[in-house]
A and B are shown apart, each in its own frame.
Chain A
Amino acid sequence: MTRRLAALALTIGIAWFVVTGPQVDSVLRPTALALGLALIAASISGELLERLHLPRVTGYLLFGMICGPYLANIITRPMARELQLINGLAVVLIAFIAGLEMNVRRLRPRLRAMIELGGIAMLVMYIGLFTVFWLVWPWLGIAPDLTGLQRIAVVALLTTVVASFSPTVTIALVAESRASGPLTELTLAVVILADLLLILFFTLVMQFVRTAFGGPQEIGLFVSLSWEIFGSFAFGASIGAVFAFYLRHVGREVPVALLGLCAIIAGAGARLHVEPLLVALAAGLVVENVAPPRGDMLKEAVERGALPVLVIFFVAAGASLQLDALATIGGIALAVSGVRMAFIWLSVRIGVRYARIDPKIGGLVWMGLVSQAGVTLGLTLIVAGEFPTWGATIQTLVVSLIALHQLVGPVLFRAALGRAGEIGRLGGDVLGIEEQLDTQPVRAD
């Protein structure tokens, strides 16, 4: 461990020397430096946290937060921005991995119970949160003067955003823990179902808010909504089929092909108005369930890529945690966070009872639903952009909530996975297997 701590100190020292050194007037991007720092220093931080029985990903997050622009500023604002660019690829790869882990044949016997749990949990949570927000509206400081339809609309919007989960963080934690079992499958099913419902609800509620505030209405609302959900799945399935064909009939340079696949999905998101997360999930599902590749080439490529991707994703998330927002609105955020967690617990409890799921496992699912991240942030950006007056206050509140839930969520979920005995049950190892050294000659080109 001494060597690792020395390496950690040296790496941070080098980065600090470079970043604070005499600046050259150039157009250079700091991406590679940020990437190197994140990979080395955050990996060691993750290992340190693991020794304290906390998730590695919390170590990556804390490293990003501490070294990020709001505290030590070793990862400067431009560096954090550059890491966010890589984040797009990371989200896609994480969702693709989730798709690969979902074997429909294996899940089919429990599919109905999963859908029931997810549906009921979301319904109870929406009703509960809506009621609470309606009652405490004057004290939330968002737009206390609103009344009638406008207040209903904005409360519904706030409920939708606050009720959202983070499929990416949940999937990432499952990948990092190599978790497998009923709790893992149940939690993944609920977060993915919730993500689909979130897109649906958010689009509907935004339309309601526009109507309430006398804004323009989108005629093609349901067309665009259908496209975002079904188009994503269709596009993902097609691209997954092409990738499966490549794996079967070409099978060369699989890591490059996988990187290319992720880049295409990440890039296509904005252009085709599809949800990259759903696209990648569908692609993974097709590869796993329709045309699984022969041999271990994909497994090896995914396992090699998973760890660096997870590290970068969480460091970027940590570095972009807006701690100033938390400082501004911390008290209210803590209260809202407490209410949210209480409703997650309650709604899952009701859902588990209705769907007749083993309470030993079902009772732990709520711990996997606490995290919030990119999807939620994206929604608040849309709200703040369209309704700058009260939308900006919602954004500040939700950003604070994300900061809190990013830190608490992974810890809770890891604890739940540990309690269910599912950590490390997946075949293989995200950290790979030992390999024999070779002494082949080295060539630069």
Chain B
Amino acid sequence: MTLAGLPGRVSSVFRTRAALGLRPFTAPVMVFIPLGIALGPGALGIIPEVALAHLDIVISIALATLGVFIGIAAGREARGAGRLLAAATAEAGVTILVVAGALFVLLHSWALPLEMSFLLVALALGVCASASAAPAVEGADSRGAVQIAARVADLDDVMPILLGGAVLVMAGPSVRPALLSTVQTIGLGLAIGFGGWLLVERAHVAAERGVFVLGAVAMLGGAPAYMALSPLLAGMAAGLFWVAAPGNCDAIVARELRKVQHPIVVLLLITAGAGLELTMAGIWLLAPYVIFRSAGKILGGWTASRIAPGIAPSDLGAYLVHPGVIGIAFALNLQQVGNESATALVFAVAVGAIASEALALVVMPSSRAA
């Protein structure tokens, strides 16, 4: 089947990879993280330390952009799909429980020298692990299980982002209670979302609309980042608001952001790669992270199929092994708030994402099975 003949949802996955100059089965993390490592200060030095510090703005804006996409996608999917939302949340919850639980036990027994508490490290890795990307499969599989998996991949980011917002506050320098800060982040996202809605809907011309959308996303990235809160969560809150608000705001924002999506994802991954530091803790965390993430996804997928029988297939978890970039973005966000231990986390999550993508090629059900 040609790309043009694919249903919209699946073709969008192909389009993302194709627009990045990648073959449909080559995930962006497998190309751009190694490229970042090669360009970074640890290798060729084309991206020096100083430039990396300035790329901080890219991380904040990328986090907000991803948050907005997730908010809009989840807001649209959640309409009339309550059971699927519950199934996706359960899938993410189980993955977090498996990864966080297993790593907490391991960290205790290994007594790794980390600045963050073991519980927070385990929780943070659980959050990173629970995010999944929409699966990319051949055209013949663009129905049934794949479509459900894609919808679950949209919805399973909601709970981790909420939890991640709280983890970020606990790991960061903020002295406010985590719950209050999480509410504050959501409030900030809704307020900026409201401001954006006031402007975007009535913008006179396309370039002006583009400026307003870019401004709103920069605010969604910058305001929480300035307060050591989560731009992902603020972006998601704004995205959900734009879906719920009257008019076409969500469609306008999605269209405008789609134009900057590829550059932002590329820059985020290159920044992640360039900033990777090989630490002993990172190496220790890597293998368990990949193994328990895969186990968590399989178990989580199975749980989701019990909650939504007839909708979610029993092998759903196998489709969700693709990690995408949300987990890496969250790890970078942790590093951004100045947590030293996050260096090890970024290493484990970023390299783990490459390993998980490779694993996904093996465990992904074949086209016959779908």
Contact = CB atoms under 8 A, between A and B. Distances in A.
Q: Which secondary structure characterizes the binding site on chain A? A: helix
Given A311-B211, A440-B254, A28 B219 contact: no
Contacts of A445: 16, 28, 66, 133-134, 265, 324-326
B204 A35 contact: no
Contacts of B211: 39-40, 43, 307-308, 311
A25 B172 CA distance: 9
A432 B176 CA distance: 44
A19 interface: yes
Interface of A: 3-4, 6-7, 10-11, 14-15, 18-19, 21-22, 24-40, 43-44, 82, 85, 252-253, 255-256, 259, 303-304, 306-308, 311, 429-435, 437-445
8 smallest CB-CB distances across A and B, nearest first, come from A32-B222, A33-B222, A39-B215, A36-B219, A36-B218, A432-B207, A432-B206, A40-B215
Nearest to B174: A24
A26 B195 contact: no
A37 B199 CA distance: 13
B338 A26 contact: yes
Contacts of B60: 31-32
A37 B21 contact: no
B29 to A, nearest CB: 9
A14 B28 CA distance: 35
A28 B219 CA distance: 14
Q: Which of A27, A44, A431, A444 has the most CB of B within 10 A?
A: A444
Q: Which secondary structure characterizes the binding site on chain B? A: helix
Interface in B259-291: 259-260, 262-263, 265-266
A191 to B, nearest CB: 25
A293 B28 CA distance: 28
Interface in B34-65: 53-54, 56-57, 60-61, 64
Contacts, number: 211
B341 to A, nearest CB: 15
Contacts of A6: 198
Contacts of B73: 441-444
B66 A40 contact: no
B57 A31 contact: yes
A391 B322 CA distance: 61
Contact of B69 (A19, A252, A444): A444
Given A30-B222, A259-B263, A443-B69, 18 more contacts: A22-B176, A28-B226, A29-B53, A32-B61, A36-B218, A36-B221, A37-B215, A37-B219, A39-B215, A40-B212, A40-B219, A82-B57, A252-B21, A256-B262, A442-B76, A444-B133, A444-B324, A445-B325
A441 B10 CA distance: 9
A31 B227 contact: no
Q: Which of A7, A36, A308, A445 has the most CB of B within 10 A?
A: A445
A15 B255 CA distance: 26
A179 to B, nearest CB: 17
B188 A442 contact: no
B240 interface: no
A12 B197 CA distance: 16
B367 interface: no
A308 to B, nearest CB: 5
B226 A437 contact: no
Nearest to A40: B215
Contacts of B338: 26-28
Interface in B225-258: 225-228, 248, 251-252, 254-255, 258
A444 B66 contact: yes
Contacts of A37: 215, 219, 222
B13 interface: yes
Contacts of B266: 256
A82 B60 CA distance: 14
B176 A441 contact: no
Contacts of B157: 444
Nearest to A2: B198
B173 A26 contact: yes
Interface in B320-362: 324-326, 336-338
Given A4-B198, A21-B227, A308 B210 contact: yes
Given A256-B266, A307-B210, A441 B12 contact: yes
B173 A25 contact: yes
A196 to B, nearest CB: 30
A26 B337 contact: yes
B255 A438 contact: yes
B198 A307 contact: no
Interface in B191-209: 191-192, 194-196, 198-199, 202, 204-208
B222 A36 contact: yes
B90 interface: no
A444 to B, nearest CB: 4
Interface in B165-191: 172-176, 188, 191
Q: Which of B12, B61, B220, B222 has the most CB of A within 10 A?
A: B222
Interface string B67-82: 0011011001000000
Contacts of A435: 206, 255
B228 A28 contact: yes
Given A15-B223, A432-B207, A35 B192 contact: no
Contacts of B326: 444-445
B94 interface: no
B216 interface: yes
B195 A34 contact: no
B12 A33 contact: no
Contacts of A19: 226
B8 interface: yes
B35 to A, nearest CB: 14
